[in-house]
Structure 1
Amino acid sequence: MSIFLVISLFAGFLLSNQSPINVDLRRYAGSPFLSGLISFVVGTIFLAVMTLVTTGSLVPSLHFIVTQPWWIWLGGLLGAIYLTSNILLFPRLGALQTVILPILGQILMGMVIDSFGLFGSPKIIFTLMRASGILILLVGVLIAIVLPNLRKKPNVEKDKERLVGWQIWGVLIGMMGATQQAINGHLGVLLKNSSEASFISFLVGTVLILFVALLVDRRLPSWKKLRQAKPWNFLGGILGSLFVLATVIAVPHIGAGLTVVMGLIGQILGSMLVQQFGWWKSPKYQIVAVQIVGVLVMLLGVVFIKFL
């Protein structure tokens, strides 16, 4: 059981590096939608190769497609929204807030999914200890994100009001992220192949974000500009695909809620390192002690949820 906790934790760490990579890729792609499209294409190709190697085929039978519920194919849509939103949020809120704000939505939605067994997830009884763990997690979030910003005084009140909208959107996409993980996890169970489920999710997301990019930008990325990008600029799609693959593996074993929580802690730890060292050309922000305390409190919440 503990191996799936570690898988989820490491998956979150990988995902925390995806946002700054895709943000830098935007300089060559020209827009967040085109940057997201490139990331999805790279991830789809990576998962396609993995699926072909492990199964010898890419897509399930027509009978499987028409007999499954319509919502089973929504993972890719939610993933496309989540990825594109992260590209928009990152330069406005910074690495840590871009990760932490969706936690509120993800924790809430993950526990709701577990409590009612939604989207084919294993049903987990909502106990007093589980509720206490959620409250402790939320306290950890507040410590990590609110306390460090109490010292910061916005120069213009209007700027503060503008950020609130982005922060609210961060919570909403968190709810979408938790739903995506549950859906993809159930798809993996139905297909009996995690890589194929991840590939389908990415393929759907690629098609949808291609449509949006053509609608909004009315063009495809310039090959001339993309040739100027560094090789690591294209790693975002691979990291994102590995995250999806890890959650597909973990959800059926430990539930959507705990998969979400461990992934989030991995994202927070990763984002703290990203902002501390300025990885992937992201702005550097000094980590303060209270942020570390917040993460430790969140880990205590995990203990209450899982082990007590």
Structure 2
Amino acid sequence: MTTLDRLRLVRDMVRIRCAEETLADLYRDEQLMRTPTHFSIGQEATAVGVCAATRRGDVVYSAHRSHAPYLAKGGDLAALVAELYGKETGCARGRGGSVHLVDHAAGFGGSAAILGEMIPVAVGAAWAFAMDGAPRVALTFFGDGASEEGVFHESLNFAALHRLPVVFVCENNQYSIASPLSARQPAGSSIWQRALGYGMRASRIDGNDVLAVHDAARTAVEAARAGEGPHLLELDTYRWREHVGPHPDAGGYRSHAEVASWIERCPIRTAADALRPEDPTVDDRIDAWRAEFTEEVARAVELARAAPFPDVTDLLSGADEPRPLAPTTRRN
């Protein structure tokens, strides 16, 4: 990767961070977004590093913590914000909320709240690609808790059996709601090693290092595209906010010292530190990007506030129908 490519990864992380911090503050203060909202603040490197390794025709699916993968794959910011406000111009026409994002034009196939739900959906998409002989890859983001669902193992088995072009992306943020890994999984076990049991390739990466994530994802995606079968990436990371909602930690199940130690490993700071020797202006760039993206999300919020709610007579219409045209904040 060139220095410009690596800076672009940082820029994309800053954009997601600015969008989510703004939305979290508004969610808390306005009380106008009436949808359960799971923020990825602190986890930006996983989505950015992986999605930057994909092509436009590749399809990404996500679980409930969906804002970052949606934006990293190129999803329309204005449509995301309008969806959180429940407006007709939202990406699911205001019917799905935060956990049901979709942008087929960008290659974001959808997200859902049921634990592990989109894992087999991605496998199905990959099977279709394989049957059609299309050089496309399906990717699915999920948390460590989803690796304990039966459908996780069924999907890995099926994908390995048929050598499907699918990449499983486990964002291991150490908790399933309030339960740590140590309370749910045997000591000495790991998620990536389970994939080895199905004969597929798997690797464990520092999920807060966007450069390492991107390198691993690029290898996995291109191998899958070349017909070498599925790959699982276990990315160690950490969410700074509560499981669902805008607050830092409402449950008190994590110590202040633990949270602080992960904040010190901020993925944006980590990437900036790595890039500073080759680009001493990286900190100035980050400041400028923060100003740019804070303004961008403010415009998206104003558009969402001004947009209409779905008409009550139309609430049972399918969300797959074209939504009304609205000003866009899509980035190419």
Question: Same-fold call, TM > 0.5?
Answer: no
Which structure's residues are more often helix, by fraction? 1
With structure 1 as the length reference, what TM-score do the two structures score?
0.31
TM-score (normalised: structure 2):
0.30
